[in-house]
Every structure is written in structure tokens, then in C-alpha cells.
């Protein structure tokens, strides 16, 4: 019996000295979820096109061609046509916008896919300012037509 205790005690001692330190390094079975967010910045080796900010008066949206475009009026009362990816509703006609745009290369659809440059609108914001030119009413248009020399002289009318 004594021999058995002499053999068992060292075996238990060796087992405990090996197993106890390994239990301390053991991770718990409960998994901890850590959320990691990785921000990927695009490598943009090409220089970006210079942008222009301008206050413009919206006149018309044209969506019938290869590229949608918006016609604006600038402070010099010249028209500015900008290519856009966003439909601007007719209810914003004659409203003022703060517009950011840049020169872009576009492709004309067809057999030869010819390139051309145009101003592309990248951002816009409605402003609450007074328009450069007051909106023209239908009554004003009819009065202007009536005041034409051809109409006053009784030229033939197209029905």
C-alpha cells in the first residue's frame, strides 16, 4: 500500500504541475465579439478636376438626349447648360441654386462614340434668394406676341 502511495503521489504532482499552468492560459469558452471597422481610402493618383461654385437661376430640365441637362441663368443673364445625373423638378423653375460643377469628358452615342467636353453638375442646393430675372407669365408672352410688328401689320396667321 505504501508503494502505491509513493507512486501515485509523484504522478498526481506531475500531472497537476503540468495541467494547472495550462488552465491559466486557456481562454474562456464565451466568445467575445469585437466589431472592427476598416476605412478604405481610394487611391486617387489622377488629379481631380477643378470645381466651380456659382449661384445660378434654374430655368429648365432637359431629359430627352443621351445626357440629362439643366439650363441655368447666371448673374450676367447668360445661359449655362450643365449635364446632370439628377432630375430637377419643374416646381424649382426660377429658383436660385448654389451649384458646384466641373468640366467632364462625355461620349456621344452613335457609330463612332465621339468624345466631347461639357460642364457636369456635381452638387446643388436650393437657396432662398430673389431670382436674377423675374419669372415671365403667360399673359406677358401673349402681350409680347401681340406687340410684334408682323402681328400688328395683320400678317397671315397660322391656325
pLDDT tens-digit map of 3-30: 666 677 666 677 667 766 665 555 555 5
Burial of 69 (0-12, 13-18, 19+ CB in 10 A): buried
CATH code of residue 98:
2.40.50.960
The pLDDT, as a whole number, for residue 91 is: 85
Helical (H) or strand (E) element with 96: strand 96-107
> What per-residue string of b and e applies to 14-23 under the rule 16 or more CB within 10 Å gives b?
eeeeeeeeee
Number of folded domains in the chain?
Answer: 1
Mean pLDDT of 80-106: 87
98: which residues sit within 8 A by CB, 6+ positions away?
53, 54, 55, 124, 125, 127
**In this structure, is residue 41 part of a structural domain?**
no
Least confident of 39-48, 49-58, 115-124, 141-150: 39-48
User: Does residue 133 sit within a domain?
Assistant: no
Tens-digit pLDDT profile for residues 30-81: 555 555 665 555 555 555 678 888 889 988 888 887 788 899 988 888 889 9
Domain encompassing residue 75: 52-127
Tell whether 73 is covered by a domain. Answer: yes
Residue 1 forms part of a structural domain: no
- Residue 94 is assigned to a structural domain of this protein: yes
Reported pTM: 0.54
Question: Does residue 27 lie within any of the structural domains?
Answer: no
Q: Is the pLDDT of residue 124 over 80?
A: yes
Quick check: 111 pLDDT over 70? Answer: no
The whole-number average pLDDT for the span 100-106 is 87
CA 82 to CA 61: how far, in whole Å?
Answer: 10
Cell reading at 64? 430627352
Distance (Å, whole) CA 158 – CA 155: 10
Q: What pLDDT score was predicted for residue 117? A: 84
* pLDDT at position 122: 87
In a domain, 93, yes or no: yes
Does residue 64 form part of some domain? yes
Amino acid at each position: 500500500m505504501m508503494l502505491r502511495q509513493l507512486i501515485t503521489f509523484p504522478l498526481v504532482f506531475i500531472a497537476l504541475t503540468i495541467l494547472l499552468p495550462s488552465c491559466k492560459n486557456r481562454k474562456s469558452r464565451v466568445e467575445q465579439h469585437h466589431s472592427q471597422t476598416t476605412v478604405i481610402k481610394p487611391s486617387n493618383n489622377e488629379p481631380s478636376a477643378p470645381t466651380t461654385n456659382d449661384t445660378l437661376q434654374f430655368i429648365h430640365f432637359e431629359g430627352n438626349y443621351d445626357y440629362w441637362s439643366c439650363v441655368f441663368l447666371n448673374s450676367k443673364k447668360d445661359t449655362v447648360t450643365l449635364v446632370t445625373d439628377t432630375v430637377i423638378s419643374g416646381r424649382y423653375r426660377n429658383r436660385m441654386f448654389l451649384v458646384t460643377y466641373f468640366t467632364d469628358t462625355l461620349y456621344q452615342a452613335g457609330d463612332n462614340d465621339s468624345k466631347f467636353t461639357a460642364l457636369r453638375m456635381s452638387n446643388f442646393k436650393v437657396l432662398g434668394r430673389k431670382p436674377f430675372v423675374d419669372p415671365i407669365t403667360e399673359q406677358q408672352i401673349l402681350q409680347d406676341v401681340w406687340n410684334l410688328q408682323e402681328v400688328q401689320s395683320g400678317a397671315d396667321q397660322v391656325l
